[in-house]
Amino acid sequence: MDCRETRALIHGYADGELDLVTSLEIERHLPECPDCANALAGLQAVRAAIKSSVPYYQAPPGLAGRVRSSVRRATRADRTPRLGPGPLIALAASLALMTAVGWGLAHILRVPGDDAFLTRELVASHVRSQMLPSHRFDVVSSDPHTVKPWFEGKLDFAPPAKDLTDQGFPLVGGRLDYLHGRPVAAIVYQRRRHTINLFVWPSSPADDAAPAKASRQGFHMLRWTNSGMTFWAVSDLNEGELQEFVRLIQG
Ligand SMILES: [Zn+2]
């Protein structure tokens, strides 16, 4: 992340509004850049000054009730018909149209929005596991007979764990994660110096789907659904080798 991007995001960072990956990128930039670090210190100083010196007033008792009753009076007064039926029908029609357009938009946006949110969560989890060694594994083992049973009793499904050492993708461990609003398994594989996080959680068998590509912030992702399990492989490994990994997992 450069100074321009950091400055554009620094208010959000100071307010704790950024996602984990972006926050970490800013945290990497700040120690290297006195100018941006000063900008943040300035923001924090202003905030501290506002917090300590701006007076805080308690609303007088009964104010909320008075506001509510005056809103009710204003609404009643507004209901007095001032318009003839023509404009009222037009108004109702345009309200109905706005609602219909709103529903349509919500429908069109819902699926990609969910996906964007999920890929963001997946990348955040992958990056967190790379940057914080304590988040990398809950169980460290190259033995599927150790990794697989470790999840028993911790999840309501049995994630598959395969050893692919001979194919050049050694299993290195696993951990529990919380993604997509549910606990999921993350099975961790290695390819040279690259880590592959294979996220697994149950889905409906009706959702079976062949691998599809996605990428975000320089990470490659392949998702597929098979026999009632959704899989997401996330890595900074090149796309070709990640596809090979997925073929081996599926095979
Ligand atoms: Zn900077």
Own/partner contacts of 143-147, CB < 8 Å, gap of 24 or more, are: 143/171, 144/171, 147/171, 147/173, 147/174, 147/187
Number of Cβ within a 10 Å radius of residue 76: 9
Question: Does residue 98 surpass a pLDDT of 90?
Answer: no
Give residue 117 CA to ligand 1 midpoint distance, Å. 28
pLDDT tens for each residue of 150-187: 999 899 999 989 999 999 999 999 999 988 788 999 99
Give residue 35 CA to ligand 1 midpoint distance, Å. 6
Q: What is the pLDDT of residue 1?
A: 83
Q: What is the pLDDT of residue 107?
A: 43
Mean pLDDT (whole number) for 10-33:
88
Give residue 22 CA to ligand 1 midpoint distance, Å. 14
Q: What is the pLDDT of residue 33?
A: 93
DSSP bridge partners of 183: 178
Which residues lie at CB < 5 A from ion ligand 1?
Answer: 3, 33, 36
Q: What is the pLDDT of residue 106?
A: 46
Angle at which helix 85-131 crosses helix 20-29, to 10 degrees, equals 60
Question: Which range, of 17-21, 111-115, 148-152, 238-242, averages the lowest pLDDT?
Answer: 111-115
Give residue 34 CA to ligand 1 midpoint distance, Å. 7
Give residue 217 CA to ligand 1 midpoint distance, Å. 20
pTM for this one? 0.57
- pLDDT bracket for residue 47 (50, 70, 90): confident
- pLDDT bracket for residue 112 (50, 70, 90): very low
